[in-house]
Amino acid sequence: MVRSIKNPKKAKRKNKGSKKGDGSSSSSSIPSMPTKVWQPGVDKLEEGEELECDPSAYNSLHGFHIGWPCLSFDIVRDSLGLIRTEFPHTAYLVAGTQAEKASFNSIGIFKVSNISGKRRELLPTQKNSDDADMDADSSDSDEDSEDAENSGSLTPALQLRKVAHEGCVNRIRAMTQNPHICASWSDTGHVQVWDFTTHLNALAQSEAAVNQGGSSVFNQAPLVKFGGHKDEGYAIDWSPRVTGRLVSGDCKNCIYLWEPTSGATWNFSSAFIGHSASVEDLQWSPTEDEVFASCSVDGSIAIWDIRLGKSPAISFKAHNADVNVISWNRLASVMLASGSDDGTFSIRDLRLLSQKQEDDKSVVAHFEYHKYPVTSIEWSPHEASVLAVSSSDNQLTIWDLSLEKDEEEEAEFRAKTNEQVNAPADIPPQLLFVHQGQKDLKELHWHSQIPGMLVSTAADGFNILMPSNIQSTLPSEGA
């Protein structure tokens, strides 16, 4: 398990320009030397070579920070529209800090507006004549310049409010049904529930950007401060089906069920125990009110039904190392993804689970692309076959499990672009996109209301990204 950011230092508060090898800032700089596509896991950097972020690979790419590094964050559902495809975008988030001193920590409630970008065609248009080609080159150059202007020079505005938090925030989650209600796991061993209505309303009504990391800190009492866990923890999840129902898991292998009562109060169950080591992540079923999944340092995944008592309904060995994260597919509820400390991640069809490990045929996909621990994994809320993965190798990867190598399609694409596009044999055809430039990646989330938008957090801040090659899966503009 890899969690904390080593030796966290306060992020610099002044804006930085882009630099080579760093994809965390908006940039329209043009490399001075001829460039080629770098193939992760295949190509090696020679002495003196550097990686350069190509802005044309993104519909949108922006970087920001809120002061101290954040180990965990969540995207807050808003009332700006269920499906939004027009730039500029606005997003609301909550994040917890990992500060140098316990008393410096806070939860940031923030709004990022003016998230600019531009849609691009997947294939360039081709002309027949040489003159037309020259005209097209000139036109493309103008369009590239316009793209860079539209997607790079419009700086997003960050509005931030801070609430004091006792200890580092190990994980934070906003309730699906009432997103102003958030739960946080502290390294002090407490789980707290907060009402951020006042702060979200203030952000919604304000248009003035604030200095990043410079706002005052509010002292606010949580709705609930639960001290029943015997150790700190990282696993926590709100039920997407039952308003206010929560599960939290700790490093002592205990899971507690929170049942909402009238008002802002909860009843707590006795501990659910089925793992032999730390509970790393929890996920409620998207279709069953009483069912949730857990994963553990003991290498197993357990499925629980709260109607059947305090033991798992089924438990199975999932990886040969710690299982750090899991994600339950909300569009295809039989699919569960898991990521391990050895860098592997797997996709299981829960209909094929068996109590006998030797008979386990549930693994429908297994990838060994990442060579360092998987730190976050999440299914797309808009495409059932797409998921994103982050790793300690400083890569955020996007995968489409519906993709297969198609020689005929490659030949057609090569003919249109006049380029060699044969993918190396050791890069899986399901690998759709690789994002780099962040250091010590910790968590990622898809925006459920903005198709194609991902937000990630790392030791050096946040990135908001929208890869251009998943444009074909989005609704057309004006739809």
Tell me what pLDDT residue 143 has: 46
Cα(190)–Cα(338) distance, integer angstroms: 26
Tell me what pLDDT residue 278 has: 98
Per residue in 11-49, pLDDT (tens digit) is: 443 333 333 333 334 444 444 555 666 766 667 777 877
Which residue would you say has higher pLDDT here, 310 or 133?
310
Query: Reduced to 3 states, what is the DSSP secondary structure of residue 56?
Result: helix
Mean pLDDT is highest, among 210-224, 374-388, 413-427, for 374-388
What does residue 175 show for φ and ψ, rounded to 5 degrees? -65, 135
Average pLDDT, integer, range 198-204:
97
The Cα-based distances of 219 to 52, 164, 222, 429 in angstroms read: 43, 5, 10, 50
Tell me what pLDDT residue 382 has: 96
Tell me what pLDDT residue 78 has: 98
Burial (CB count within 10 angstroms: exposed 0-12, middle 13-18, buried 19+), residue 477:
exposed
Per residue in 434-451, pLDDT (tens digit) is: 999 999 999 999 999 999
Cα(230)–Cα(11) distance, integer angstroms: 32
Query: 2-6, 113-117, 217-221, 402-406: which has the minimum mean pLDDT?
Result: 2-6
Query: 133-137, 301-305, 434-438: which has the minimum mean pLDDT?
Result: 133-137
Q: What is the pTM of this model?
A: 0.85
Tell me what pLDDT residue 406 has: 67
How confident is the prediction for the chain on average, in pLDDT? Answer: 85
Which residue would you say has higher pLDDT here, 188 or 25?
188
